[in-house]
Amino acid sequence: MMRASKLAAAALLLSGCAQQPSQAPSATAAAAVEPLDIQRDYHSYANTREFRTEHLLLDLGVDFSRRVLEGTVELRLQRLSATAAELVLDTRDVDIAQVEAAAGQGTWTATTFTLDPRDAILGSALRIAMPPAADRVRIRYATRPEASGLQWVTPEQTAGKKHPFLYTQSQAIHARSWIPSQDTPLVRSTYEARIRTPKQLLAVMSAVNRPEQKRDGDYRIRMPQPVPTYLIALAVGDLKFRPIGKRSGIYAERSVVRGAAYEFEDTEKMIDVGERLMGPYRWSRYDMLVLPPSFPYGGMENPRLTFLTPTSIVGDKSGVALIAHELAHSWSGNLVTNATWRDFWLNEGTTTYLTYRIMDEIYGQARGDMERALGQQQLVEAFAQATHDGDKALAFDQRGRDPDEVFSSTPYQRGHLFMTYLETKFGRARFDAFLRGWFDAHAFQSKTTEDFIAYLEAKLLASDPGLVPRAKIDEWIYASAMPADAVYAQSDAFAKVDAQRAAWLAGTLPTARLKTRQWTSHEWRHFLDNMPAELTAARAAELDRQFKLTQAPNNYIATSWFRVAIRTGHAPALPAIERFLLRVGRMLFLNPIYRELVKTPDGLAFAQRVFAQARPRYHPIGQASVERIIKDAQK
């Protein structure tokens, strides 16, 4: 169990403001005129009350030289309205050549379509005329090189340097940039695909992959479990496969696969823990694909095939909470899915809570508590960076905003703290049974925040009336300020680090006497992330001389150190920072470094120069994120 102590710093920073909770979900949007419809996905144009995709068939050629996917998508639809004469789909930056429609097994006939003007966030609605009884459409289309959901990686940017690499990132609303579709988590469908690639390369998807199949550049892949479009994923590269357990394995380039197999060898144990906590693993296999370093996220929970950054392979398993996290999504997110992006916390908060529970089971409570404490620090930073006060709540109105721009640690960490609060109140046994019941009762469904609240009231709150009032639940979910009785983790290991840092800062502990030999990367991060603002360049240089931090091979430690180096003006670190920013595309590392850089005119100039060079190597989502940081600094 986690101790119920109030971690002074986090509690003060997070609940110190006197914000009044805005309890009604409809009162959150200042700009929006209409009352919020919580059942509606405002990030999709799809008319899901008239048609719903049940099965999706892709037939695509992968053209690396033109950076284009070209072919067809067929949607098999459930017709919910007998009279509906128009099907509206989501697209962004795709060229539509032809659309055909059919009824049942009937023949295809060409039908008319229009593409609405492009909205900067949502893209262009594709409006297809549906003949009476039509319940299938087939669209011939091509993507554009700038498609936001695709990254075309040059051979030089891969580990092998010989072959190009392509991967998709569909969450949140990028599937529409490579598949005209009902791009909303409200709709789930099974899918199948025929993917044509250069002969030497292998195509894999978030589906049933067959590593033993012959490499002939013509791959047929099928996904038997229904998933929303944001979980449809494709990667094409010079991939090898290596099993690591009876239902898990690694896909990666040849030179990467071995290190990854060692780093992630505990995956099978994690699946077992996941099943004990949350019920059967319903996706048959859990494989992982290691991507080139430009991947903007740590991981993406694509079902059956998690996509991973190579930056988490550091040789000491210090980054494996990432695997626990992506695996936990097999229940929270992939099995029971947020209905709209307003409900994103349901995916991420529950997953973050489960991540730490898995880490406790496999690596011990001390490790779990360090992960929790680092997470709390991320929440403090997310609150400090929030541009809209409402973004500090769990569920909030996101109309008119890009989910990528809204993205922060808040739904992860505040969501985790909400789950921890409930666990503390009701006891672990009852809370575990409640969560498992939630997954079992809603498997393969999409749920809103309010569905969760209703289930919580019926299954947990009602079992002990008065223990947690409904108003407390509303405060957790809809209010900006953190509830004052949140339960924060306390890490004993970090307390020892704090004591050493304090003595070193006071000058009573010389640099050479800092006891860091046993530190994990977590302790290093905690040590560096909590250095005071007034630390001088001379003192930073002392640390660098002693511990060679500028050369730190661990990306997590390097990021924390680079922030200290930038803040203190420790110039010898700058060339290493530049190399790092040119090599790595993971936003968890890029964003804090760029944010630190842009605080001074010299730093901003450095950031602009490096970004101009690094930009083509970053994923479109990473590019947009750094662009926002630089633009905000210029205001």
Burial of residue 474, with CB atoms counted within 10 A of its CB: 0-12 exposed, 13-18 middle, 19 or more buried: middle
Element (H, E) at 526: helix 521-529
Which ranges of 184-284 would DSSP assign to H, the alpha helix? Answer: 254-263, 267-278
Contacts (CB under 5 A) with Zn ion, residues 289-348: 348
Contacts (CB under 5 A) with Zn ion, residues 224-263: none
CB closer to Zn ion out of 169 and 351: 351
Cβ 301 to Zn ion shortest distance, Å: 6
578 is an active site residue: no
Cβ 588 to Zn ion shortest distance, Å: 12
CB closer to Zn ion out of 348 and 475: 348
Cβ 613 to Zn ion shortest distance, Å: 30
State the DSSP string of 131-188. Answer: -TT--EEEEEEEE-TT-TTEEEE-GGGSSSSSS-EEEE--TTTTGGGTS-B--STT--
Cβ 171 to Zn ion shortest distance, Å: 9
The CA angle 96-98-104, to the nearest 5 degrees, is 120
Give the Cα separation of 622 and 39 in Å (integer).
30
Give the Cα separation of 23 and 390 in Å (integer).
11
In sequence order, the 6+-apart residues with CB closer than 8 A to the CB of 254 are 159, 160, 238, 240
Which is nearest to 310 in space by CA: 16, 583, 521? 583
CB closer to Zn ion out of 356 and 527: 356
CB closer to Zn ion out of 127 and 329: 329
Which is nearest to 127 in space by CA: 145, 113, 144, 146? 113
CB closer to Zn ion out of 180 and 403: 403
Contacts (CB under 5 A) with Zn ion, residues 344-403: 348, 351
Map tokens 């529950």 to a residue: 350
In sequence order, the 6+-apart residues with CB closer than 8 A to the CB of 614 are 581, 582
Cβ 309 to Zn ion shortest distance, Å: 13
Cβ 432 to Zn ion shortest distance, Å: 20
Which is nearest to 162 in space by CA: 154, 151, 173, 174? 154
594 is an active site residue: no
Cβ 348 to Zn ion shortest distance, Å: 5
What distance, in Å, lies between the first and last C-alpha atoms of the chain?
46
Reported in sequence order, the residue ranges of 269-412 that DSSP labels E, i.e. its strands, are: 286-290, 299-300, 305-308, 336-338
Give the Cα separation of 196 and 71 in Å (integer).
10
For the window 46-85, what string marks contact with Zn ion as x by the rule CB under 5 A?
A: ----------------------------------------
Map tokens 């850089």 to a residue: 597
CB closer to Zn ion out of 348 and 596: 348
Task: Identify the sign of the CA torsion 2, 8, 13, 19.
Answer: positive
Cβ 241 to Zn ion shortest distance, Å: 24
Residue 445's φ and ψ, nearest 5 degrees, are -125, 160
- Whether residue 393 contacts residue 406, with contact meaning beta carbons closer than 8 Å, is answered with no
Strand partners, 208: 222
CB closer to Zn ion out of 348 and 361: 348
- Whether residue 344 contacts residue 477, with contact meaning beta carbons closer than 8 Å, is answered with no
Which residue of the set 42, 141, 412, 421 is catalytic? 412
Cβ 264 to Zn ion shortest distance, Å: 17
Cβ 329 to Zn ion shortest distance, Å: 6
Give the Cα separation of 499 and 574 in Å (integer).
29
Task: Identify the sign of the CA torsion 493, 499, 504, 505.
Answer: positive
CB closer to Zn ion out of 294 and 351: 351
| Residue count, binding to Zn ion (CB under 5 A) | 2
Task: Identify the sign of the CA torsion 598, 604, 610, 611.
Answer: positive
CB closer to Zn ion out of 351 and 409: 351
Give the Cα separation of 266 and 281 in Å (integer).
16
Which residue of the set 50, 100, 301, 326 is catalytic? 326
Task: Name the residues annotated as catalytic.
Answer: 326, 412
- Residues at the contact surface with Zn ion, assessed by CB under 5 A: 348, 351
